[in-house]
């Protein structure tokens, strides 16, 4: 099968790639652009480990075909920190102890980022709804919710 050329933006940089029509955004980020902060868990839209922001909305990158990305803007966990400084959401996760194994953390942070972009002071219920698609096997969620609430402040 022939490769397809796609031009889009990742973390505010223009990228041009040639990839196969079956390749997902997750696969392109990790395998072709070296952005391995975005994790692959289930690979079928159930765990949220692969969450990135696509045109302003949190999406499961394992469910997005790269061929549909022409002209799109993608933001990954690597794109929210500035130089070597963590984003306030990341700082809050560290401060509140909302990380254990860390596998879910990039996806959680990106879901929180999308929420706080549109809602500066979310309620606990709104936070729970925003991370409903992100599974965490370690923390029990309480500290994650507290960290997002703290980051909103």
Q: Rounded to the nearest whole angstrom, what is the least distance from the CB of residue 20 to ligand FES in the complex?
A: 19
Nearer to ligand FES, 18 or 31 (CB): 31
DSSP strand E in the chain: where?
4-10, 13-19, 51-54, 57-60, 73-75
Q: How far is the CB of 67 from ligand FES (least distance, A)?
A: 18
What percentage of the chain's residues is helix, strand, coil (to nearest 5)?
35, 20, 45
**Consecutive H or E run containing 6:** strand 4-10
73 close to 54: Cβ distance less than 8 angstroms: yes
Shorter beta-carbon distance to ligand FES: residue 19 or 134: 134
Minimum CB–partner distance for residue 26 and ligand FES (Å)? 6
Our CB check for ligand FES shows the closer of 19 and 60 to be 60
- Residues in contact with ligand FES by the rule CB under 6 A: 40-43, 45-50, 60, 62, 99-104, 136-139
Nearer to ligand FES (CB atom), residue 13 or residue 74: 74
Residue among 39, 143, 34 at smallest CA distance from 97:
143
């Amino acid at each position: 099968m022939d490769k397809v050329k796609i031009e889009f933006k990742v973390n505010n940089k223009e990228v041009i790639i040639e990839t196969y029509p079956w390749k997902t955004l997750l696969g392109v980020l990790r395998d072709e652009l070296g952005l391995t902060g975005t994790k692959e868990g289930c690979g079928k839209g159930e765990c949220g480990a692969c969450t990135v922001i696509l045109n302003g909305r949190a999406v499961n990158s394992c469910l997005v075909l790269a061929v549909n990305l022409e002209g799109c803007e993608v933001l990954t966990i690597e794109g929210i920190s500035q130089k070597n400084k963590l984003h306030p959401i990341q700082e809050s996760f560290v401060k509140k102890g909302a990380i254990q194994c860390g596998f879910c953390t990039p996806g959680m942070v990106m879901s929180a980022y999308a929420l706080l972009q549109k809602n500066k002071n979310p309620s606990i219920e709104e936070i729970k709804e925003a991370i409903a698609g992100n599974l965490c096997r370690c923390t029990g969620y309480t500290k994650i919710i507290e960290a997002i609430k703290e980051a909103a402040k």
